[in-house]
Amino acid sequence: MAARFVTIWFRHLLTDWQIRRQPELQQTPFVFAAPVHGRMVITATSIPAEQQGIRTGMPVADAKAIVPGLQVFDEPPGKGTQLLHALGEWCIRYTPLVAVDLPDGLILDSSGCAHLWGGETGYLKEIITKLRAIGYDVRGAMADTIGTAWAVSRYGRIEPIITSGEEAAALMSLPPAALRPEPAALERLHKLGLHQIGSFIDMPGRILRRRFGPSLLSRLSQALGYEMEGIQPLFPPPPYEERLPCLEPIVTATGIEIAISNLLEKLCSRLQQEGKGLRTATLKAYRIDNRMVQATIGTNRASHHVTHLFKLFELKIPSIAPGPGIELFTLEAEKTEDAAPTQEALWTAGPGLNNPAVAELLDRLAGKIGAGNIRRYLPEEHFWPERSIKQTPSLEEKPVTHWRTDKPRPVQLLATPEPVEVAAPIPDYPPMLFRYKGELHEIRKADGPERIEREWWLDGGEHRDYYTVEDKKGQRYWLFRSGHYSGQQSQWFIHGFFA
């Protein structure tokens, strides 16, 4: 498949943006200006100002002499770059590879994308029409090379879609500036009377290099496809992504379900062929009002099971607001892992966490109550209770040690011990009464103490003497005294609850 590129030129980027904010400026000559060497110089002009002879680079004082009623705005620093980044993100609906071309353009790698819009003519027309509809004066072109597309979009007066292999013919009548040469080389070309690319395109490379430097020869080679020209995309290309344009805007939940099903079929088929499964995936829906809504799912283990993944997205459909209609869906597997071998056994594994049905159940529960409300813990090799367990996001991770069973441990351990008030403490005995969160507990039974020393190599402090106590209601708690007994000054804490 031949590479194809689209370049978009925003002829009046900043002034179009200002008109979108202040529509009353539509027919008013105005400019943006910035200080240069102590004087204000025009950096951007509106169409009415251009029609009256105002140009960029002109001092503001000279421009006001030509157009006395000219309105001048201070140029917002970095606004042009910010606008191009935002417009580039908007163009991701047409291709995942979009790059900013400062100071006033975008470059789209459209390879393999045009057929989704019925061909290159419909693809380019769609982009240009949409950008003009939101208020930007743009021109665009498509070619096998960035150089030719750039030249035609800015200087061409012919068909904006250049057929593969016709780059040289498209460049012949264009001025040398269309090749983006260095200023010194461009000035030398004009001095020699070479006002069209066709005047020197057939010259030997050694002559062009000797007379105009290597930059001009490189630009010409890039435009003709003899030398590669790379782009820096706004976002790294996702390795696993599927796109689905819609012939008509989608406004119903049923339409969204069909789109999700189609995308999952394609994505999971590819993942399965490569022995992969997704852990997180994001569905993005691009609406015709230029807004984007999205929904993300996660799984406890790598999965390419279409039915299961569809059920997870099905829970998210109520949050996907179609608005006036969705024109494009994309599905990206943001995080993938090697698929577990159990997935290849028709989803029939033994009991426990190795059973994919268990993982699927956890995924569905997480979709309903939130992933943060389901946790898995593994034992850690530490004496200190807070450090003796760790949370893991994976069902595949194996414990490196065994759960301690020789001593009783509460089913619920507080992340941080909480202080309690005690009455009538006795050395080496639990208290008879304690108050926790305003409620008084009278202890009927107790077991202990179990002394746990602090891990001095991690931090300093007192040891703890733990007691398992039961109050008169039959509720059991894990209490401890910090340090040795010191009468009424002893500090007591609650650290957990037994079943």
Per residue in 268-327, pLDDT (tens digit) is 999 999 999 998 999 999 998 888 999 999 888 888 999 999 999 999 999 999 999 999
pLDDT of residue 303: 87
Task: Respond yes or no on whether the N-terminal peptide bond of residue 103 is cis (omega within 30° of 0).
Answer: yes
Kindly tell me if the per-residue pLDDT of 168 is higher than 70: yes
pLDDT of residue 295: 93
Neighbours of 260 (CB within 10 A): 24
Q: Which of 159, 178, 164 is nearest to 220 (CA)?
A: 178
Kindly tell me if the per-residue pLDDT of 155 is higher than 80: yes
Kindly tell me if the per-residue pLDDT of 267 is higher than 60: yes
pLDDT of residue 459: 82
Kindly tell me if the per-residue pLDDT of 256 is higher than 60: yes
The better pLDDT of the pair 78, 490 is held by 78
Pairing mode, strands 30-36 and 39-45: antiparallel
Taking residues 194-215, report their average pLDDT.
91
Contact 86, 20 (CB under 8 A): no
Taking residues 192-211, report their average pLDDT.
91
Mean pLDDT of the chain: 88
Neighbours of 158 (CB within 10 A): 12
Report the range of poorest mean pLDDT among 8-22, 225-239, 256-270, 343-357. 343-357
pLDDT of residue 347: 45
Neighbours of 89 (CB within 10 A): 13
Q: Which of 222, 241, 238 is nearest to 230 (CA)?
A: 222
Q: What is the band of 72 on the pLDDT scale with cuts at 50, 70, 90?
A: very high
**Cα–Cα distance measured from residue 123 to residue 119, given in angstroms and rounded to the nearest whole number:** 6
Helices 356-369 and 306-314, interaxial angle, to 10°? 10
The CA distances from residue 78 to 22, 74, 81, 233, in Å, are 20, 12, 5, 19
**Cα–Cα distance measured from residue 212 to residue 191, given in angstroms and rounded to the nearest whole number:** 12
Per residue in 363-402, pLDDT (tens digit) is 677 767 666 667 777 888 888 888 888 877 766 677 778 8
Beta bridge partners, 470, equal 445, 476
Buried b (16+ CB within 10 A) or exposed e, 273-310: eeebbbbebebbbbbbeeeeeebebbbbbbbbbbebbb
The better pLDDT of the pair 76, 424 is held by 76
Q: Which of 14, 132, 12 is nearest to 83 (CA)?
A: 14
- Name the strand (E) or helix (H) holding 272: helix 253-273
Q: What's the chain's Rg over C-alpha atoms? A: 34
Taking residues 430-441, report their average pLDDT.
91
What is the model's pTM? 0.68
Contact 448, 467 (CB under 8 A): yes
Question: Which backbone phi and psi does 278 adopt, to 5 degrees?
Answer: -90, 150
> Can you list the domains of the chain with their CATH numbers?
1-237 (3.30.70.270), 241-353 (3.30.1490.100), 412-497 (no CATH)
Neighbours of 66 (CB within 10 A): 13
**Cα–Cα distance measured from residue 378 to residue 396, given in angstroms and rounded to the nearest whole number:** 12
**Cα–Cα distance measured from residue 431 to residue 94, given in angstroms and rounded to the nearest whole number:** 71
Kindly tell me if the per-residue pLDDT of 176 is higher than 90: yes
Task: Respond yes or no on whether the N-terminal peptide bond of residue 181 is cis (omega within 30° of 0).
Answer: no
Report the range of poorest mean pLDDT among 61-70, 326-335, 344-353, 413-422. 344-353
Q: Which of 314, 412, 293, 294 is nearest to 363 (CA)?
A: 314
Taking residues 414-428, report their average pLDDT.
84
Beta strands in 288-373 (DSSP E): 292-303, 326-338
